[in-house]
Each structure stands twice: as structure tokens, then as C-alpha cells.
């Protein structure tokens, strides 16, 4: 949540920020409720103090006064509870402030390109989509997955299954060597953690699968479970930054995303992901954000994928993000750039909800900053590898950096060629 003191002292700036982000929040109503809440808290505290002044056995007159005080307190407490519910709902819907260098824009069409790495491939043949390659090379089975689990699920087979593990091992090793602690998280989290990180686990607009008759939900990213890892803790300044590289499975309903733009592996209900997460002092968080972004850049440079880095505009920022960068890889199936990773600095927005603080050397305690970034999202990494490394004969080369994790496999050949090669070896 946004600092309430900042909202009280800068209502016009908050309104302008909301407008730039395309978020409709009634800031005036919030401040009205905030004032009423403060008044009621004061009145309730006075009534409680009056109740507590009675000592020993009260007289009949005192009992009558006590009854009236209690009834008045209960009435005001009920009113306070109602106001606090609306006040809290509005407060949670106010997005984070925005980095002054973030571009102002209404949607992803106004994101700002800041880096380009590599060139889009020029094929001397008609390239296939990853769906077509997945079928011709016997790598991905959407049909059987639909029979077993429903649409937007998939089976990875043969070299594609090996590629998932290769990508995980390569990414975990690379990021670990940058001082990040490797960790595997649960695939579920409590509702208070999802809300603390900024995900809504309930309601019509949710992208979250929730577990019925419990307060658990399936996570859409390890950002959730890592965000809750130090919930309600105070971390000493000397121990920061805390840097983690976390693996998890991710589950998303992807409601309303059906269509050609989300075909194949691009938007699916389940995938594996390696996530970077950093707990930082406020003064070091922008530096940490650049480090995460640069690691993402290094990974896709080493994978040999053409990509660009974009600075996300205000209308495309999620509520918790102060600033966000996306890496967009070249996808033949889309005929252009599409997101493969992202990284966000949420400043103290998530830390406020999750109550995570830093204890300074002088003993002062304050909210720390939290950052997240994708190391690798397997489904989208598979798209760009298959589509960019495809060959005229229908095969797909394996990025050199992954070959050591593939048992020496350097290319994926069609089943017909594998059978021919097998007969030749005999």
C-alpha cells in the first residue's frame, strides 16, 4: 500500500498518478473516510478509558453510566468497523507512486524501447510457429493435455522436456553465482500473503486459482511466496540485501485471454519459472533493480535470442510497481516482440502490507524495499528458442549454452530422421 502520510499530504499528486496509470480511485472519499476514522478511533478510545476508570464494585448509578458508555462504545465501534472496511478497500486500490523517468502512456503500445540486442532472424524458408514445430518434432502435445486437464495445458515431450530442465539448471546456476541464494518455494500461499504482495485471490477479475474451503491459493509466480518469506520480520541493515533465486510452478486462470494473440505456449494455465527476489534498503533499491534487469539481459544474450528492453509506461504498470522493465523476445509466431521476462521495483509498497522492516545501525526501524524479476519463464523461453533456432530442414538447434545440460544434444530432429539415424547406427 502507498504511504498513508504521503496520501494525506499530497492528494493532488496521488490523483495525477492514478490518472496516469489509468486507475479510478476516489481519493477524496478516502480522505473523508480517513478523517471520520480518526475521529471515531479517538471517541472509542475515550469511551474505553471511561469504562476502565470504574474500580472495585460499582454503585447502581455507576452501573447505569457504565451501561450507557458500553452501548455508545459498541455503536461507535460498529460504525468504525464499517468505515474501516471501505477505507481499507480504497487504500489497497491506490497504486504505488511512479518513477519520474517512467514513460507516461495509456497501454503497452506506449512502452519505451531502451535497448535492442541482436537482430530478428531472416529465414530463406517459410518459418514455422512453435506450435507447428512442437507437433512436427513431437515436443508438445496440447490435444492430450486438453483431454486430461482442459485447454491451455500441455505436455512437454522428448527434447522439450529436457529443455525445461536445462533452462532451469542453467538459470539457477548463473544467478546463484551472482550471490543469490537458491530456493524452491511452495506452490500455494495464504490469502494474506497474496493480498500483501498485491494479488487478489478472490473475485470475478482474479487470475488466481484458489483452493476451496481454505484460505490457500495456487501461486501465479514465486514473487508471492518469496514476498511472504520474511513477512512480519525486522531485518538488520548489515544483512541486506537479501537476494534469492527461486523456482516454482505457476498457475494462472488467464481469464479473457483466449485468442490468436495468446495461442500455444504464450498464455497457459501452468508453467515453471525461475524468479529473482531482493529485499533491499531504500537507498539501494534502484541499483538492485538495474542488477536484476542486467542479469535478465545476460541470460537472453547467452541464449542467443534477439530481444529488446522496454521501460513500462504508467498505464501498463501493475499497482505495486514503482518502475518496471520488460524483456521482449522476437517471436516468429507473432511477427514481432513479445514479453519473455519482467522486473519490478515495488519500493515499500509490498513491504508495508507484509510488515517487513529494516533495522538501521542506529536502531531505527523503517520499511525496506522489495524487488522481483524473472530469471526464466519456461513456456515463453521455449517459444523463442524453437522459433529462432529452427532450420530449413525442420530441425531446431539447441543454444550452445544449454547443450551441457542436454546430455550433449545439439539439435532436435524430426522423428522420421531419428528413425533413419537409428537404423544407420544398427
Write out pLDDT tens, residues 165-213.
Answer: 999 999 999 999 999 999 999 999 999 999 999 887 555 556 889 899 9
Classify residue 416 by burial, with Cβ atoms within 10 Å: 0-12, 13-18, 19+.
Answer: exposed
Question: Same domain for 73 and 120?
Answer: no
Question: Same domain for 329 and 369?
Answer: yes
Question: Same domain for 174 and 261?
Answer: yes
Q: How many domains does the chain have?
A: 2
Residue ranges of E strands in 281-410: 307-311, 323-331, 336-345, 357-359, 365-367, 369-377, 396-397
Burial per residue of 334-358, b for 16 or more beta-carbon CB atoms within 10 angstroms, e otherwise? beebbbbbbbbbbbbbbbbbbebbb
Alpha carbon of 295 to those of 112, 178, 198, 206, 383: distances in Å?
20, 9, 25, 30, 20
Closest of 255, 223, 183, 163 to residue 343, by C-alpha: 223
Question: Same domain for 169 and 307?
Answer: yes
Question: Same domain for 156 and 301?
Answer: yes
- Give the pLDDT band (50/70/90) at residue 60: confident
- What rounded mean pLDDT belongs to the chain? 93
Kindly report the CATH number assigned to the domain that includes residue 225: 3.30.930.10
Contacts of 172 (CB under 8 A, 6+ apart): 182, 245, 247, 274, 375
Question: Is the per-residue pLDDT at 425 higher than 50?
Answer: no
Question: Same domain for 69 and 144?
Answer: no
Residue ranges of E strands in 80-200: 112-117, 140-141, 155-156, 181-184, 188-190
Question: Same domain for 59 and 128?
Answer: no
Write out pLDDT tens, residues 329-344.
Answer: 999 999 999 999 999 9
Residues 240 and 138: beta-carbon distance below 8 Å: no
Q: Judge whether 39 lies within some domain.
A: yes
Domain span holding position 77: 4-93
Q: Judge whether 424 lies within some domain.
A: no
DSSP state of 65: H
Write out pLDDT tens, residues 362-417.
Answer: 999 999 999 999 999 999 999 999 999 999 999 999 999 999 999 989 999 998 77
- Give the pLDDT band (50/70/90) at residue 297: very high
Cis, bond preceding 134 (omega within 30 deg of 0): no
**Among 43-57, 152-166, 217-231, 372-386, where is mean pLDDT lowest?**
43-57
Q: Is 56 left (phi over 0), alpha (psi -120 to 50) or beta?
A: left
Alpha carbon of 393 to those of 128, 141, 321: distances in Å?
11, 21, 45
Amino acid at each position: 500500500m502507498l504511504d498513508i502520510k504521503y496520501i494525506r499530504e499530497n492528494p493532488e499528486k496521488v490523483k495525477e498518478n492514478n490518472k496516469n496509470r489509468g486507475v479510478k480511485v476516489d481519493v477524496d472519499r478516502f480522505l473523508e473516510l480517513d478523517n471520520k476514522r480518526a475521529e471515531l478511533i479517538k471517541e472509542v478510545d475515550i469511551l474505553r478509558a471511561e469504562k476502565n476508570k470504574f474500580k472495585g464494585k460499582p454503585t447502581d448509578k455507576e452501573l447505569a453510566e457504565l451501561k450507557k458508555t458500553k452501548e455508545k462504545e459498541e455503536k461507535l465501534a460498529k460504525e468504525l468497523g464499517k468505515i474501516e472496511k471501505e477505507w481499507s478497500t480504497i487504500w489497497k486500490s491506490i497504486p504505488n507512486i511512479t518513477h519520474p523517468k517512467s514513460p507516461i502512456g495509456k497501454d503497452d503500445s506506449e512502452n519505451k524501447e531502451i535497448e535492442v540486442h541482436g537482430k530478428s532472424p531472416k529465414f530463406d524458408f517459410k518459418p514455422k510457429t512453435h506450435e507447428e514445430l512442437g507437433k512436427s518434432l513431437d515436443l508438445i502435445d496440447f490435444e492430450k493435455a486438453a483431454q486430461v486437464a482442459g485447454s491451455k495445458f500441455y505436455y512437454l515431450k522428448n527434447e522439450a522436456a529436457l529443455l525445461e530442465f536445462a533452462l532451469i539448471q542453467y538459470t539457477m546456476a548463473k544467478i546463484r553465482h551472482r550471490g543469490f541464494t537458491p530456493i524452491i518455494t511452495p506452490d500455494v500461499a495464504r490469502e494474506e500473503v497474496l493480498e500483501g504482495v498485491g494479488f487478489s485471490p478472490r473475485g470475478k477479475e482474479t487470475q488466481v486459482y484458489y483452493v476451496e474451503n481454505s484460505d490457500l491459493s495456487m501461486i501465479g509466480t514465486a514473487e508471492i511466496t518469496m514476498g511472504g518469506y520474511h513477512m512480519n520480520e525486522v531485518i538488520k541493515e548489515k544483512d541486506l540485501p537479501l537476494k534469492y533465486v527461486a523456482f516454482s510452478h505457476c498457475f494462472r486462470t488467464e481469464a479473457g485471454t483466449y485468442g490468436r494473440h495468446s495461442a500455444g505456449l504464450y498464455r497457459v494455465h501452468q508453467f515453471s519459472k525461475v524468479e529473482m527476489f531482493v529485499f533491499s534498503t531504500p537507498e539501494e533499491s534502484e541499483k538492485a533493480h538495474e542488477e536484476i534487469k542486467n542479469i535478465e539481459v545476460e541470460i537472453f544474450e547467452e541464449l542467443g535470442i534477439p530481444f529488446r528492453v522496454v521501460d513500462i509506461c504508467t498505464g501498463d504498470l501493475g499497482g505495486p510497481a514503482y518502475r518496471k522493465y520488460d524483456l521482449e523476445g522476437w517471436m516468429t509466431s507473432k511477427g514481432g516482440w513479445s514479453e519473455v521476462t519482467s522486473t519490478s521495483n515495488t519500493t515499500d509498497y509490498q513491504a508495508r502490507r507484509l510488515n517487513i522492516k529494516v533495522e538501521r545501525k542506529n536502531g531505527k526501524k523503517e520499511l525496506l524495499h522489495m524487488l522481483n524479476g524473472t530469471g526464466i519463464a519456461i513456456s515463453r523461453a521455449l517459444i523463442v528458442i524453437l522459433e529462432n533456432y529452427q532450420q530449413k530442414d525442420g530441425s531446431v538447434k539447441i543454444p550452445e549454452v544449454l547443450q551441457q545440460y542436454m546430455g550433449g544434444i545439439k539439435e532436435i530432429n524430426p522423428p522420421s530422421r531419428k528413425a533413419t539415424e537409428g537404423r544407420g547406427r544398427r
